[in-house]
């Protein structure tokens, strides 16, 4: 636990905080005196020291590792009563990996939360797809599996290629496209639960939305120049919010509303992936949490409004006024992190900002920093926000950024521990 003061009028938010994000930094600025942090000691090594210093003034409750959650909630209630002028009455968990434990903590603490069934629908990808089908949505054919033989039996029915993933995966970690039986040699089946699904063609899209009082207030589509499974193999890592007529010919708000109603979601931020095949929608996956990378921020740039403020409103129990400004396309391009080691040189932020269309640039590493590359869709050395009139213009400008961007990483075979495992640079889920 750490010190700080919660004061002032209005709701007090308990924010589950397991890594630095643009949203968490916004909440720190927007809720002076009305924000407390919920942190988990089990992932302390994943939080960069700089961010911990930035937020040291805030009240933070650390959930200990290996202690029953019921006992930790009792300790939290004692801490809250003793350390805070007003206890939190609202809750937000932006993290995909911490969804189950964070929502269970909120339930035990009497805060607004997702039920255990809702968590299962949005975290267990097999249960999620079964729920989609129950709601009348098309999905890829899929099955739970436990070994290579199960995969081959599924392939005998559905054919290759296939997609193999843990049922609780995020950021494409341990997710593979399999083109035939030899690919199974790279998979380590074990304690995790696995599933397999047919590989879908067509165009893959994303859509985000916010929910207040069970109603989807709006839906914002994103184009993906490259699919996530291509990204982890080296393709351009980008998402483009489309606030123009180039969006998919789908009633996205109605799509999200069907899921929100079917799952009984009261409020929050939604992030969904879907496929458009010959005019038909196939539901991919959905999360009830903020989108990863800088996708949420893209919507603010594309629609000309305070997207983080609107998101914060729904978690505080308020209906936001969605007043949009200029409409355009805007995307986040994650800058490459090609290898593990020590950064020797990286293109300065000022140079990136001079490239046409670049409206913001953030470098999360600098010369002298130890870094660890990972096979994950959030693997990056920073990001830029790029705007343009069309999807094509944004993508061309992103490729100009990649042509100009240079990062040199020298080998560092001596690196061990959290840095070598990839935990000390800032990471963003997708």
More confident residue, 400 or 47: 400
Local structure of 408: helix, strand or coil: strand
Question: How many Å apart are CA 331 and CA 238, to the nearest integer?
Answer: 7
Q: Is the peptide bond before 216 cis (omega within 30 degrees of 0)?
A: no
CATH superfamily of 203-420: ATP-grasp fold, B domain (3.30.470.20)
Residue 104 has pLDDT above 80, yes or no: yes
Burial of 206 (0-12, 13-18, 19+ CB in 10 A): buried
pLDDT band of residue 295 (cuts 50, 70, 90) is very high
pLDDT of residue 275: 97
Does the domain made of 141-198 have the CATH classification 2.40.160.40? no
Nearest to 394 by CA among 209, 223, 245: 223
Local structure of 53: helix, strand or coil: helix
Question: How many Å apart are CA 169 and CA 126, to the nearest integer?
Answer: 11
Question: How many Å apart are CA 28 and CA 24, to the nearest integer?
Answer: 6
Rg (Cα) of the chain, in Å, rounded? Answer: 21
pTM for this entry: 0.91
Q: What region does 82 belong to: left with phi over 0, alpha with psi -120 to 50, or beta?
A: alpha
- Give the neighbor-by-neighbor strand order of the sheet with 341-346: 370-371, 341-346, 407-410
Domain residues of the chain, as ranges? 13-113, 141-198, 203-420
- Which residues does 79 contact at the CB level (< 8 Å), separation at least 6? 1, 61
Angle 160-186-372 from CA coordinates, rounded to 5°: 120
Question: How many Å apart are CA 151 and CA 181, to the nearest integer?
Answer: 9
pLDDT of 315-360, one tens digit each?
999 999 999 999 999 999 999 999 999 999 999 999 999 999 999 9
Mean pLDDT, residues 213-234: 94
Structure tokens given for 362: 């953030």
Residue in the structure block whose two tokens are 């990471």: 427
Q: What percent of the chain has pLDDT over 70?
A: 94
Mean pLDDT, residues 262-287: 97
pLDDT of residue 425: 40
CA distances for 194 relative to 127, 141, 226, 230, angstroms: 12, 14, 25, 21
- Give the neighbor-by-neighbor strand order of the sheet with 215-223: 138-139, 280-287, 268-277, 203-212, 215-223, 238-242, 329-335, 382-388, 358-363
- Strand 238-242 relative to strand 60-63, pairing: unpaired
Q: What region does 59 belong to: left with phi over 0, alpha with psi -120 to 50, or beta?
A: beta
Beta bridge partners of 241: 222, 330
Local structure of 182: helix, strand or coil: helix
pLDDT of residue 2: 41
pLDDT band of residue 160 (cuts 50, 70, 90) is very high
pLDDT of residue 100: 96
DSSP-derived secondary structure for 79-143: HHHHH-SS---EEE---STTHHHHHHHHHHTT-----HHHHHHHH-HHHHHHHHHHTT-EE--EE
Nearest to 291 by CA among 235, 243, 220: 220
Q: Please state the separation of Cα 369 from the chain's center in Å.
A: 25
pLDDT of residue 342: 96
pLDDT band of residue 147 (cuts 50, 70, 90) is very high
């Amino acid at each position: 636990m750490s010190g700080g003061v919660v004061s002032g009028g209005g709701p007090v938010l308990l924010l589950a905080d397991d890594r630095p994000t643009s949203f968490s930094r916004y909440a720190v600025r927007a809720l002076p005196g009305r924000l407390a942090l919920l942190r988990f000691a089990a992932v302390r090594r994943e939080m960069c020291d700089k961010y911990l210093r930035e937020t040291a003034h805030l009240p933070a409750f650390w959930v200990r590792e290996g202690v029953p959650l019921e006992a930790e909630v009792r300790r939290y209630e004692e801490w809250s009563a003793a350390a805070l002028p007003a206890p939190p009455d609202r809750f937000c968990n932006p993290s995909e990996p911490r969804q189950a434990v964070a929502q269970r903590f909120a339930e035990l603490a009497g805060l607004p939360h997702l039920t255990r069934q809702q968590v299962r629908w949005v975290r267990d990808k097999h249960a999620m797809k079964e729920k989609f089908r129950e709601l009348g949505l098309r999905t890829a054919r899929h099955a739970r599996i436990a070994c290579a033989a199960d995969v081959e039996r599924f392939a005998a029915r559905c054919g290759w290629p296939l997609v193999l993933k843990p049922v609780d995966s995020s950021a494409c970690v341990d997710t593979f496209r399999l083109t035939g039986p030899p690919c199974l040699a790279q998979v380590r089946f074990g304690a995790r639960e696995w599933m397999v699904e047919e590989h879908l063609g067509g165009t893959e899209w994303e859509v985000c939305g916010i929910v207040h009082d069970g109603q989807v207030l709006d839906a914002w589509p994103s184009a993906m120049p490259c699919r996530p499974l291509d990204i982890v193999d080296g393709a351009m890592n980008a998402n483009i919010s489309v606030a123009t007529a180039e969006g998919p010919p789908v009633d996205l708000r109605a799509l999200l509303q069907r899921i929100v109603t079917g799952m009984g979601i009261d409020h929050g931020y939604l992030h969904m992936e879907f496929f458009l095949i010959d005019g038909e929608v196939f539901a991919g996956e959905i999360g009830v949490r903020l989108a990863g990378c800088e996708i949420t921020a893209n919507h603010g740039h594309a629609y000309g409004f305070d997207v983080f403020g609107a998101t914060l409103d729904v978690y505080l129990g308020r209906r936001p006024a969605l007043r949009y400004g200029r409409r355009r396309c805007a995307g986040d391009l994650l800058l490459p992190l090609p290898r593990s080691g020590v950064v020797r040189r990286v293109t300065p932020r000022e140079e990136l900002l001079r490239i046409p269309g670049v409206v913001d640039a953030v470098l999360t590493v600098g010369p002298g920093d130890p870094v660890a590359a990972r096979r994950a869709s959030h693997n990056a050395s920073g990001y830029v926000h790029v705007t343009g009139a069309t999807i094509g213009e944004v993508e061309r400008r992103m490729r100009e950024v990649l042509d100009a961007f240079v990062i040199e990483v020298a080998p560092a075979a001596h690196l061990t521990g959290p840095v070598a495992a990839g935990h000390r640079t800032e990471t963003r889920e997708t």
